[in-house]
Amino acid sequence: MNGHAPVMLTEVIAALAPRDGALYVDGTFGGGGYSRAILEAADCRVLGIDRDPDAIARGQALIAHFGGRLSLVEGEFSRMDSYVEASDGVVLDLGVSSVQFDQPERGFSFRADGPLDMRMSRSGMSAADFVNSADHGTLARVLSRFGEEKNASRIARAIIAARPITGTAELARIVAEAQGPAALRHAIHPATRTFQALRIQVNDELGELEQGLEAALRILKPEGRLAVVSFHSLEDRIVKQFMVRQAGATPHASRHLPQKSGSRPALKLIARNPQTPSSMEITANPRARSAKLRVAERLAA
């Protein structure tokens, strides 16, 4: 179960406050770090969900350790309400896991050459399938929307001119060359935003997140906590807007203005602003530096 350090683990466990006899959903099981910590914190049960069959296979050792207190499901966390009817808490750790990121054969990173894959579930359209078939407009829109890439149109033209593209190193080189020598002087590699965009597109990560938040709301018991760790602004914006909306609040609303009438709030915000990792954690795990934790509590219907 080594290879992935669960981000903001102490803060997540404090937010969930595991208690004996309760059931928690770890919607992004990954390396099992959150599940292990929850099970060690109380005599409770955990349902772990992951669409990566490799994660489910690795998790069998943890099942053997905790016995019937841990169960795993291979599937999407957006369907958690089809796996369990009610839960005392839900945790989501968004994006790609360190284990996936560090395996060149998965194609998530350009740090080492590998096939241009990026599929979390190992099924469906790969990143290679997409970049080799999408037209310029589609490619540019994906890079702009999901990667917030300013040079999306130029990169899309370069990709189309170089097709077929099959490897991560090849794509990274094409993207870097399309942006010119100046891009290489930046702290962030010029292909970072393109790889993020393609990964989000291939795995429908934002659609999965939107549906997953709704599913979590449906299964949470009153006083159950929803804890979500995000790693970039697109994810965090969706989580923030969902929680604020379900709490019946309006971002930046004035306390001097009358509240809008509407449906009864379903969530209570535990904090208005997200928690971020400590400097000590960032030093130990640099990949945690962009993480944000938002927590909300289910109100009685």
The model's confidence at residue 5, banded by pLDDT at 50, 70 and 90, is confident
Instruction: In whole angstroms, give the CA distance from residue 23 to residue 80.
Output: 13
**pLDDT tens profile 197-234:** 999 999 999 999 999 999 999 999 999 999 999 999 99
Q: Which of 184, 203, 222 is the last residue of a domain?
A: 203
The amino acid at residue 204 is D
Are 29 and 94 contained in the same domain? yes
Decide if 164 is inside a domain: yes
Instruction: In whole angstroms, give the CA distance from residue 152 to residue 137.
Output: 10
141 exposure class (CB count in 10 Å sphere: 0-12, 13-18, 19+): middle
User: Does residue 260 carry a pLDDT above 50?
Assistant: no
Are 110 and 139 contained in the same domain? yes
Are 191 and 242 contained in the same domain? no
User: Does residue 187 carry a pLDDT above 90?
Assistant: no
Decide if 80 is inside a domain: yes
Are 118 and 93 contained in the same domain? no
* pLDDT for the residue numbered 181: 80
Q: Which of 183, 203, 223 is the last residue of a domain?
A: 203
Instruction: In whole angstroms, give the CA distance from residue 30 to residue 265.
Output: 32
Domain residue limits at 144? 104-203
Q: Which of 170, 203, 236 is the last residue of a domain?
A: 203
Are 129 and 93 contained in the same domain? no
* pLDDT for the residue numbered 193: 95
What is the H or E stretch that residue 236 is in?
A: helix 233-246
Residue 281: which CATH number? 3.40.50.150
More confident position, 107 or 44: 44
Cβ atoms of residues 109 and 22 within 8 Å: no
Are 194 and 224 contained in the same domain? no
Are 82 and 111 contained in the same domain? no
Query: What's the total number of domains in the chain?
Result: 2
User: Does residue 267 carry a pLDDT above 90?
Assistant: yes
Residue 116: which CATH number? 1.10.150.170
What is the H or E stretch that residue 293 is in?
A: strand 292-298
Instruction: In whole angstroms, give the CA distance from residue 168 to residue 40.
Output: 39
**pLDDT tens profile 118-135:** 999 888 999 999 999 999
Decide if 42 is inside a domain: yes
Decide if 4 is inside a domain: no
Decide if 293 is inside a domain: yes
Decide if 85 is inside a domain: yes
Are 186 and 132 contained in the same domain? yes
* pLDDT for the residue numbered 41: 98
The model's confidence at residue 253, banded by pLDDT at 50, 70 and 90, is very low
Are 211 and 288 contained in the same domain? yes
Strands 292-298 and 267-269: antiparallel
Are 81 and 142 contained in the same domain? no
Decide if 209 is inside a domain: yes
Are 219 and 278 contained in the same domain? yes
Decide if 3 is inside a domain: no
Are 169 and 199 contained in the same domain? yes
Q: What is the mean pLDDT of residues 267-271?
A: 96
Q: Output the six-digit token pair for 219.
A: 């299964």
Cβ atoms of residues 219 and 89 within 8 Å: no
